[in-house]
């Protein structure tokens, strides 16, 4: 073959395989593969590559991918090779793409057409190659493209094609059951195919279908039994034998199907007994495949309706497994025995010594399987031995996951089969002590409940003896170091409830032990809380008995430490303990009754005992309580003033997010980005000029030619550049107590009453060979003895669920939109240029030289808490016109005219109330509402700032000598 090796490949490829096999490290292997990738990248794109050479390159790419490296650069060449007419090259291409690509790869679409063409080929080898690719590459979306051709191939003359078509339909059913749901009958028909290979392939989809719906296939029981009988009697060709066993994999699949169909069905199971007995009787245990058939026969016999003779034959096979020297067969025997004892518990007694051998086997897997078997065969006569062995094993392992599993099994068995409460408490102590915090908290609660309830009978002496033994055992254990937190909680609770009940131990002795626990586990807040509650109970019981209570020094130190604790729970318990020691005997008896942990507590949800107190408070002028369902509807700002009269004055935090601002209409200016309520944002020019225009157009309509007026305002940030505040003059220090800068504007305290009232309208969520006497004794304890009636402990506590209902958010005011439309007509025309002078503000301290025009504004910024000012009939007619502009300047107005909206912190509907008040007010009546969070000047802010200027002593300049006179006509 010249330069080629004996496998038809080039010497270069064989040297690559040899060098990788001789590589001494992963790094050396990676270096060889990377060199090979570079070589393939160069050669695979050369023109006119011989097909034989390209085939080798594709195989070398497969080898590169098998070694874990990326060969995606050659995927397209494998796809091209699937188009080749040469059968060898086509099959090589299909092999490569099924290894390279997954069903969601982008190149799949290039293969679908090729698959459709090859499924219609006259060469069945080509059809088989295409069906192999269908099983690997066709996804749910491309199933309809090839499904008709696959259905046609079910009747192909070649059995290999029919078999692969069944496999393809099975794959379609796994990916999309709905796409082939109408083709289920084809599986039934192929079950009667003349070729055993096609029949065997049909068993796999039928097993899935029967697993989902057993009742629909009950009529096939006789067919499956007939097929299994023919296979067991060697009616199939010799080519289907494996290690001299007739078609073993078909037998195993049929046994699994029969186990599903015969479960709980006596009539169906009666048809199966004969064939299963014949398989067990003729079974060959000299080979692994023979043992596999026997194991599945036992599983089938244990699943179907039980038959005594069949169960006995299965038990004999289990005995052979357990007596084997092979660990795998012992494992199978333990597992099969666990299935059989559900039907016949006495079977385990026949194999008790074999089970003991498995329990003492060094193989950990076999030992764990044996513990599962012991768990299934536990009863009241052997529970003590089994649980003790499980606890010993739990102590010896370090696997937390399995230790948790063993602990839960021990607890479950102890609760279900405990011969006495005393044994149960001792067993729980061992489990808590060695399993630690891996034990579920519910187990601790069940233990405390059991000690409190006792034997559940009217035998007070037995209950007292139980509690005394628990106290004695806990006093012995409490001194051990590093006890689990859950166990300490149980100890503290029991000592607090029953530590002094029998009179053997004094209160000072028990309280000293509890203080030692709290000090030793000072980092565990829960343990300290349990210890404090236990101390409270001890002192309460002493006071109720009429004995003098003297706090120990260490107890007093513990209380003082907890009073300064960061934990509010510990603080509260410490305060309660302090308060308890100062009460009289009758009060203590009422608060802390002795041995009342199991009494039912009646909860008065209406708190009717407070009715007299509430009535007295209302008579003294207190506001009545408003139910939550009524409060939820009080968020409308339009009804705010009416509700304000009867709403209690309180501030509650709100945790829900602010609603997003309304989007501006498309005809207005482009919106500016929304800023947080605490940032300074530059206000668009349109807003300045528009608002100023509203004032000038209403107040100085008669002086239209005075557009040259310029207004200087202090406290207004720059329009461009970094926002700044104006520096206050020395004379402003005297006024600092009554003025506060908020978000770039100076707020006068006179409007604080309105703000506080607005806030009040909102509501704040884990192999011995010889039989020794010890082993015989252990076996007698595990399997011997008469069964006693089993009892189950009561269920665990049920924790009440608290339904937390979040406060409903108040609705946004709907009246703002209406006022926007009303004002839009007035504000839509071009503003006069240069109305506001936004240069650096200047503050002068000269005394006024002209008549003070601010006297006319005395009533506008009155410091009284009332929000409404009534003017006399003699007021000028222009004043209502000016103030109606204030009502129009709402949040919605800002959103439409200026293109931005600022969320008001906690008071989303504040400005909507202004528009309502302005729209609904009578002539001559003006309503003002101050908002702390709205940025940028508006008409009201300008007036407030001018009032501040007046207080600071600012003269009207030469540019605006008659400003306010013009404004007020």
> Tokens in use for 258?
């029969």
Q: Closest by alpha carbon to 286, among 332, 329, 330?
A: 329
SS3 sequence, 696-723?
A: HHHHCHHHCCCCCCCECCCCCCCCCCCC
What confidence score (pLDDT) does residue 342 get?
85
Q: Which residue has the tokens 């060959």?
A: 284
Distance between alpha carbon 719 and the CA centroid of its chain, in Å?
Answer: 49
pLDDT at 896 over 50: no
pLDDT of residue 687: 41
Find tokens 């503000």 and name the residue: 841
Residue 165, pLDDT > 90, answer yes
Instruction: Name 272's bridge partners.
Output: none
606 CB neighbour count, 10 Å cutoff: 8
| Cβ-count burial 81-108 (b if 16+ within 10 Å, e if not) | bbebeeeebbbbbbbbbbebbeeebeeb
The CA-atom distances, in angstroms, between 320 and each of 354, 369, 373, 546, 679 are 11, 18, 17, 73, 84
Q: Determine the pLDDT at residue 647.
A: 47
**Band of the pLDDT at 942, cuts 50, 70, 90?**
low
pLDDT-based confidence at residue 146 (cuts at 50, 70, 90): very high
Q: What is the mean pLDDT of residues 138-150?
A: 92
pLDDT tens digit string along 84-98? 999 999 999 999 999
Region 824-850: mean pLDDT is 44
CA gap 714, 132 in Å, rounded: 84
What's the mean pLDDT in 473-495?
A: 88
CA distance 935 to 113: 66
Going by C-alpha positions, the residue among 904, 608, 599, 565 that lies closest to residue 759 is 904
Q: Is there a contact between 683 and 929 (Cβ–Cβ < 8 Å)?
A: no
> Would you call 712 exposed, middle or buried from its count of C-beta atoms within 10 A (0-12, 13-18, 19+)?
buried
Count each helix (H run) and each strand (E run) in the chain, helices first: 44, 6
Q: In this predicted structure, what is the pLDDT of residue 1?
A: 35
pLDDT band (50, 70, 90) for residue 950: low
pLDDT of residue 221: 94
Query: In this predicted model, which residue has the larger pLDDT, 779 or 481?
Result: 481
> What is the pLDDT averaged over residues 504-527?
89
Per the CB < 8 A criterion, the answer to whether 37 and 60 are in contact is no
719: pLDDT strictly greater than 50: no
Residue 771 pLDDT class (50, 70, 90 cuts): low
Residue 438 has pLDDT above 60, yes or no: yes
The 3 state secondary structure assigned to 385-418 is HHHHHHHHHHHHCCCHHHHHHHHHHHHHHHHHHC
Can you tell me the mean pLDDT for 207-232? 94
Across the range 517-531, mean pLDDT stands at: 90
Structural domain boundaries of the chain? 1-100, 115-210, 380-591, 630-636+668-719, 741-897, 910-968
Q: Which of 697, 964, 667, 959 is nearest to 831 (CA)?
A: 697
- Taking the C-alpha atoms of residue 360 and residue 116, their distance in angstroms, rounded to an integer, is 62
pLDDT tens string 172-218: 999 999 888 888 888 999 999 999 999 999 999 999 999 999 999 99
Q: 519 burial class (0-12, 13-18, 19+ CB within 10 angstroms)? A: middle
**pLDDT over 90 at 260, yes or no:** yes
106 within 8 A of 117, measured Cβ to Cβ: no
Q: Catalogue the E-assigned strands of 723-833.
A: 739-742, 745-748
Measure the CA–CA gap between 398 and 229, rounded to whole angstroms: 50
Least confident of 53-62, 104-113, 591-600, 615-624: 591-600
Contact predicate 779/356, CB 8 Å: yes
Q: Does residue 596 carry a pLDDT above 90?
A: no
- Highest-scoring range by mean pLDDT, 35-44, 339-348, 436-445, 794-803: 35-44
> In this model, does residue 638 exceed pLDDT 90?
no
pLDDT at residue 862 is higher than 60? no
Structure tokens at 634: 């009080």
DSSP per-residue codes, 423-458: HHHHHHHHHHHHHGGGS-HHHHHHHHHHHHHTTSSS
**Model pLDDT, residue 130:** 95
Q: What phi, psi does 585 have (nearest 5°)?
A: -65, -45
Supply the pLDDT for residue 362: 87
**Are 913 and 713 a contacting pair, CB within 8 Å?**
no
**Using N-to-C axis directions, what is the helix angle for 441-453 and 460-477, rounded to 10°?**
140
DSSP β-bridge partners for residue 926: 869
Q: Which helix or strand (DSSP H or E) is residue 966 part of?
A: helix 963-967
**pLDDT on residue 549:** 75
Could you tell me which of 712, 937, 711, 954 has the C-alpha nearest to residue 843?
Answer: 954
Instruction: Please state which of the ranges 27-31, 407-411, 744-748 shows the lowest mean pLDDT.
Output: 744-748
CA 684 to chain CA centroid, Å, is: 46
Is pLDDT at 606 greater than 90 in this prediction? no
Tokens at residue 482, please? 């590093």
Residue 260's CB: how many other CB atoms inside 10 A?
15
Distance CA 33, CA 593 (A): 81
Q: Encode burial over 561-596: b for 16+ CB neighbours within 10 A, e otherwise.
A: ebeeeeeeebeebbeebeebeeeeeeebbeebeeee
- Is the pLDDT reported for residue 318 higher than 90? yes
The string of pLDDT tens digits covering residues 551-580 is: 888 888 988 999 988 999 999 999 998 888
Q: pLDDT band for 680, please (50, 70, 90 cuts).
A: very low
Q: Return the CATH architecture of domain 115-210.
A: Alpha Horseshoe (1.25)
241 — phi, psi (to 5°)?
Answer: -75, 145
- For residue 26, what pLDDT is reported? 92
Q: Which of 497, 539, 493, 538 is nearest to 517 (CA)?
A: 493
Q: CA distances (Å), 632 to each of 708, 717, 890, in order?
A: 52, 39, 25
Q: How confident is the model at residue 458 (pLDDT cuts 50, 70, 90)?
A: low
Using pLDDT thresholds of 50, 70 and 90, give the confidence band for residue 658: confident
Name the residue among 290, 361, 289 with its Cα closest to residue 322: 361
> Per-residue DSSP letters for 265-302?
-HHHHHTTHHHHHHHHHH--TTSHHHHHHHHHHHHHHH
Mean pLDDT (whole number) for 398-426: 87
Q: What are the two backbone dihedrals, phi and then psi, of residue 39, each rounded to the nearest 5 degrees? A: -65, -45
550: Cβ contacts below 8 Å, ≥ 6 apart = 508
Q: What is the pLDDT of residue 376?
A: 87
The residue that leads in pLDDT, 705 or 83, is 83
Cα 328 to Cα 320: distance, rounded to the nearest angstrom: 12
Tell me the pLDDT of the chain averaged across its residues: 74
pLDDT above 50: residue 911: no
How many Å separate Cα 837 from the centre of its chain? 58
């Amino acid at each position: 073959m010249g330069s080629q090796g004996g496998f038809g490949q080039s010497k270069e490829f064989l040297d690559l395989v040899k060098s990788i096999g001789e590589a001494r490290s992963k790094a050396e292997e990676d270096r060889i593969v990377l060199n090979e990738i570079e070589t393939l990248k160069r050669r695979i794109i050369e023109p006119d590559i011989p097909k034989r050479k390209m085939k080798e390159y594709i195989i070398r790419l497969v080898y590169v991918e098998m070694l874990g490296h990326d060969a995606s650069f050659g995927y397209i060449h494998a796809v091209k090779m699937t188009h080749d007419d040469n059968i060898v090259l086509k099959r090589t291409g299909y092999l490569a793409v099924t290894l390279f690509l997954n069903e969601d790869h982008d190149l799949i679409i290039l293969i679908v057409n090729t698959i459709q063409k090859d499924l219609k080929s006259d060469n069945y080898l080509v059809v088989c190659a295409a069906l192999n690719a269908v099983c690997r590459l066709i996804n749910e979306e491309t199933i309809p493209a090839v499904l008709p051709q696959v259905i046609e191939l079910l009747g192909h003359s070649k059995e290999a094609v029919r078999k692969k078509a069944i496999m393809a339909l099975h794959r379609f059913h796994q990916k999309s059951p709905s796409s082939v749901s109408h083709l289920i009958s084809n599986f039934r028909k192929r079950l009667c195919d003349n070729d055993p290979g096609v029949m065997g392939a049909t068993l796999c989809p039928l097993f899935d279908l029967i697993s989902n719906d057993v009742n629909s296939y009950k009529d096939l029981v006789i067919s499956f039994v007939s097929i299994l009988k023919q296979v067991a009697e060697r009616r199939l060709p010799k080519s289907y034998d494996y290690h001299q066993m007739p078609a073993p994999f078909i037998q195993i699949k049929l046994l699994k199907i029969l186990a599903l169909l015969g479960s709980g069905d006596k009539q169906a199971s009666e048809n199966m007994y004969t064939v299963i007995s014949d398989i067990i009787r003729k079974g060959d245990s000299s080979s692994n495949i023979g043992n596999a058939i026997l194991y599945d026969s036992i599983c089938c016999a244990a699943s179907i309706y039980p038959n005594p003779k069949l169960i006995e034959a299965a038990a004999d096979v289990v005995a052979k497994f357990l007596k084997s020297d092979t660990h795998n067969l012992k494992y199978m025997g333990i597992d099969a025995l666990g299935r059989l004892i559900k039907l016949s518990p006495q079977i385990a007694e026949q194999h008790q010594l074999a089970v003991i051998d498995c329990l003492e086997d060094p193989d950990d897997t076999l030992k764990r399987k044996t513990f599962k078997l012991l768990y299934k065969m536990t009863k009241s006569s052997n529970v003590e031995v089994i649980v003790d062995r499980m606890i010993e094993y739990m102590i010896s392992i370090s696997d937390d996951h399995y230790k948790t599993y063993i602990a839960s099994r021990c607890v479950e068995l102890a609760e279900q089969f405990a011969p006495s409460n005393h044994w149960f408490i001792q067993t729980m102590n061992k489990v808590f002590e060695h399993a630690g915090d891996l034990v579920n908290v519910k187990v601790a609660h069940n233990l405390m409940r059991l000690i409190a309830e006792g034997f559940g009978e009217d035998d007070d002496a037995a209950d007292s003896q139980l509690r005394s033994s628990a106290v004695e055992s806990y006093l012995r254990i409490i001194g051990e170091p590093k006890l689990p937190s859950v166990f300490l909680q149980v100890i503290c609770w029991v000592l607090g409830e029953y530590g002094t009940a029998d009179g053997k131990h004094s209160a000072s002795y028990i309280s000293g032990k509890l203080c030692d626990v709290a000090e030793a586990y000072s980092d565990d807040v829960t343990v300290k809380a349990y210890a404090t509650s236990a101390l409270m109970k001890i002192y309460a019981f002493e006071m109720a008995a009429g004995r003098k209570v003297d706090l120990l020094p260490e107890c007093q130190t513990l209380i003082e430490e907890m009073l300064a604790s960061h934990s509010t729970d510990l603080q509260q318990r410490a305060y309660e303990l302090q308060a308890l020691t100062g009460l009289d005997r009758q009060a203590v008896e009422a608060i802390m009754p002795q041995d009342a942990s199991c009494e039912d507590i009646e909860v008065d949800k209406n708190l009717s005992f407070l009715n007299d107190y509430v009535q007295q408070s209302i008579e003294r002028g207190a506001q009545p309580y408003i139910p939550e369902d009524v409060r939820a509807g009080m968020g409308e700002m339009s009804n705010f003033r009416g509700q304000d009269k009867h709403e209690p004055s309180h501030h509650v935090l709100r945790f829900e997010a602010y609603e997003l601002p309304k989007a501006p209409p498309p005809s207005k200016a482009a919106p500016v980005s929304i800023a947080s309520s605490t940032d300074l944002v530059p206000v668009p020019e349109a807003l300045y000029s528009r608002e100023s225009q509203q004032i000038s157009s209403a107040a100085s309509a008669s002086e239209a030619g005075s557009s040259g007026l310029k207004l200087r305002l202090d406290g207004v940030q720059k329009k461009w550049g970094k926002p700044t505040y104006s520096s206050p003059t020395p004379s402003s220090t005297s006024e600092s107590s009554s003025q506060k800068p908020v978000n770039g504007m100076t707020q006068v305290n006179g409007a604080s009453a309105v703000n506080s009232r607005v806030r009040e309208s909102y509501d704040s969520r884990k192999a011995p060979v010889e039989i020794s006497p010890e082993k015989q004794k252990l076996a007698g304890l595990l399997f011997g003895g008469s069964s006693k009636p089993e009892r189950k402990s009561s269920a665990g506590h049920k924790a009440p669920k608290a339904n937390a209902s979040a406060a409903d958010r108040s609705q946004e005011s709907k009246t703002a939109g209406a006022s926007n439309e009303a004002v839009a007509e007035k504000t839509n025309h071009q503003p006069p240029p240069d109305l506001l002078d936004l240069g650096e503000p200047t503050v002068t301290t000269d005394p006024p030289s002209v008549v003070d025009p601010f006297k006319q504004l005395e009533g506008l910024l009155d410091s009284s808490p009332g929000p409404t000012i009534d003017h006399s009939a003699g007021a000028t007619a222009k004043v209502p016109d000016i103030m109606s502009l204030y009502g129009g300047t709402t949040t919605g107005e800002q959103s439409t005219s200026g293109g931005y909206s600022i969320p008001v912190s906690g008071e989303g509907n504040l400005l909507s109330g202004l528009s309502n008040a302005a729209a609904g007010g009578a002539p001559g009546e003006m309503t003002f509402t101050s908002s702390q969070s709205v940025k940028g000047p508006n008409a009201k802010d300008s007036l407030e700032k001018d009032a501040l200027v007046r207080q600071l002593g600012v003269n009207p300049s030469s540019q605006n000598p008659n400003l306010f006179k013009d404004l007020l006509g």
